[in-house]
Amino acid sequence: MSGSPARGRWALALAIVAVSTAAPLVRLAPEADPLRLAFWRLLLAGLLLAVATRPAGLLARRAWRWGGLAGVLLAVHFGAWFWSLRLTSVASSVTLVTTAPLFAAAIAPRWLGDRTSPRLWVGVAAALVGVALIAHADGRNATGSAPLAGDALALLAAAAGSVYLLIGRRVRAQVTVESQIVMTCLSGAAVLALAALVTGAGLAPATPRVAIVALALALGPHLTGHGLLNVAVRFRPAQEVQLALLGEPVLSSALAALLFAEWPHASFYPGGALVLAGLALGLSGGRAPAAVDPHA
């Protein structure tokens, strides 16, 4: 297919734009409870995709065992990340949560027997130093109501996302990509619904704006972003797709600056640059899981 490389590049570029709108969209609804907003994002995305594609394999009990576990991790990922965006800056939150694929690649050798390279471990070390610098900068020059707690939640989201990526490899061996997304979205939504009810948050959107933001999150970053990433990975190398996703923190931060006048403090940039450099080094040298980053 002569047009395949160009199609892959366009799909990848548009996917990065789509996923980069997630954090600014969350910021557009400050009155939204994070657990409730994450619930609606996953529920709407799962239902819309199920209606649109009618994916096969949804009744496979064995697939649901892994798909349900992946959904629990996806719920932790989005619940923690949406809380993080309420407490710290978009730049810090998105940069830290972007480390999920790198840590998944670091875990994979022990869990799945994948071979890795020294470059990956250097990248992990560089990213960890960058994380420490971001935390130090946020502790001294607070941007947000509780920046260190927000940073910690972003790292929790990254940790959950990294295991989600690895489990996703097992699920994809048993069902289609569409089935995997529907499974994880619906099971994740169920977990978030339970968490929201237990905490007393309820499930109904607080305002019409929250409902619109939830629908935009489902249609934009989740379905359009993930859909285009899955198109891109068919025509472009998986490492190229993962590396291109490093543009998300930059674009998300730029959107936050334009929409909310939220500029990262000068002390953020050394740590942020080191995290992205570590990710670039690690993903270019190690075998990162060929999966779509969940946090988009």
Nearest to 188 by CA among 44, 57, 28: 44
Q: Which amino acid is at 147?
A: P
Instruction: List the chain residues with pLDDT less than 70.
Output: 1-3, 57-63, 108-116, 142, 172, 285-296
pLDDT in the model for residue 186: 92
What Rg, from alpha-carbon coordinates, does the chain have?
A: 18
Nearest to 22 by CA among 238, 194, 251: 251
pLDDT in the model for residue 210: 95
pLDDT in the model for residue 266: 86
CB 126 within 8 A of CB 289: no
How does DSSP classify residue 224? I
pLDDT digits (tens, 9 = 90+) for 256-280: 999 999 988 888 999 999 999 988 8
pLDDT digits (tens, 9 = 90+) for 153-189: 999 999 998 888 888 777 767 777 788 888 889 999 9
pLDDT in the model for residue 1: 45
**Helices within 56-146 (DSSP H only):** 61-87, 90-97, 100-112, 118-140
> What are all long-range contacts of 4-8, with beta carbons under 8 Å and residues at least 24 apart?
4/235, 5/235, 5/236, 7/231, 7/235, 8/231, 8/232, 8/234, 8/235, 8/236
* Dihedrals phi, psi of 165, to nearest 5 degrees: -60, -40
Rounded distance between C-alpha atoms, residue 289 and residue 84, angstroms: 25
Rounded distance between C-alpha atoms, residue 117 and residue 147, angstroms: 34
Rounded distance between C-alpha atoms, residue 179 and residue 129, angstroms: 38
pLDDT in the model for residue 273: 93
pLDDT in the model for residue 2: 44
Nearest to 49 by CA among 228, 181, 165: 181
Instruction: Give the angle subtended at the CA of 28 by the CAs of 24 and 34, to the nearest 5°.
Output: 90
Rounded distance between C-alpha atoms, residue 101 and residue 160, angstroms: 11
pTM of this structure: 0.88
Rounded distance between C-alpha atoms, residue 227 and residue 93, angstroms: 23
Which residues touch 133 (CB under 8 Å, ≥6 apart)? Answer: 270, 271, 274
Rounded distance between C-alpha atoms, residue 219 and residue 258, angstroms: 22
